[in-house]
Amino acid sequence: MKKQIIAAFVGILILFGATYLLRYQIFRNWTANAVGDLNFNEDETMAAKINRYFEDYHSKKSNRPYSCAHNFWARDDRYIYVDLVCGKFSRVSDTEVKTEYGYQAPTRVTVTGSGEIANFEQPVDGTYNRVTYNWLFPYEVQEVDRQLESTDPWKNIHLKTFIGK
């Protein structure tokens, strides 16, 4: 009986180790590749186009007004990678915004050669599920996401975007 318990424990450790390797090492090699060079500087005109595109898209789809904003991560020759937030927000005070409805999701925006937005993709099996997240976002873009996560990039964007502060 004691040998069976030890064998089960060792099996669990091996399974945990294998899961760790798959999640943090092997999946790194299964990430999307950038199309051309990555550029980490945002174009102001394109930033406004992205917000308008998603506001129109969601407002038409749901027949409710939407406001959208994004944190820019990077751009390559075909895609723009952003952390998107869309919804209805109301001003509670000069320093507080209340979300009535909406969502936040990492988003890959496809841009045509003429600079128009063709479509977009978001992870389909959970916002940060590593499988589709890896398929959509190059490793370098994921690093930007992780760095911004630690600094709470949404802290002031709601105030700035939705109530003009």
- Three-state SS letters, the chain: CHHHHHHHHHHHHHHHHHHHHHHHHHHHHHCECCCCCCECCCCHHHHHHHHHHHHHHHHHHHCCCCEEEEEEEEECCCEEEEEEEEEEEEEEECCEEEEEEEEEEEEEEEECCCCCEEEEECCCCCCCCHHHHHHHCEHHHHHHHHHHHCCCCCCCHHHHHHCCC
For residues 21 and 46, the model is more confident at 46
* C-beta of residue 53 within 8 angstroms of C-beta of residue 46: no
Tens digit of each residue's pLDDT (9 = 90 or more) over 91-116 = 778 777 777 888 888 999 999 989 99
The answer on pLDDT for 162 being more than 80 is: no
Q: Which token pair is 35?
A: 């199309």
Residue 118 CB neighbour total at 10 angstroms: 9
Residues 6+ apart with CB under 8 A from 91: 97, 98, 162, 163
CA distance 70 to 67: 11
Tens digit of each residue's pLDDT (9 = 90 or more) over 46-87 = 999 999 999 999 989 888 888 888 889 999 999 999 999 888
